Amino acid sequence: MAVIVATDNDFTQVLNSNQKVVVKYFADWCGSCRLFSPKFKRMSDDEAFASIAFVDVNAETSPEARKLASVTNLPFFAIFKNGQLVDTVAASKEEAVRELIHKLDA
């Protein structure tokens, strides 16, 4: 599945339209964020995560979406289930993000 790009204007709609969501918060100036983008795209195409929506949010231009997950560092990842925040992690390691995503099936 393609990675959905969301902003403050449609973030809540994206959360409510998908039962399981993982969000990557990034900034254009964040080198680690740019390096993680291909991994995030690859994970979104993984059949094991077919029921999960992958969403990119620019943390600098979407302050309301950022507040919903209490973003502290970048890159920052949050998982939502049925529109509700489940857990977060500030990491640039793929394994940490995969562990976070697996909590959606718990």
Sequence-ordered list of residues with C-beta below 8 angstroms from that of 70, at least 6 positions apart, any chain: 88
Q: Which of 30, 59, 97, 104 is catalytic?
A: 30
Q: H helices of the chain, where?
A: 11-17, 31-44, 63-68, 94-102
| Catalytic (active site) residue 33 | yes
Task: Report helix, strand or coil for 2.
Answer: coil
Q: Which of 6, 23, 33, 57 is catalytic?
A: 33
What positions carry a catalytic annotation? Answer: 30, 33
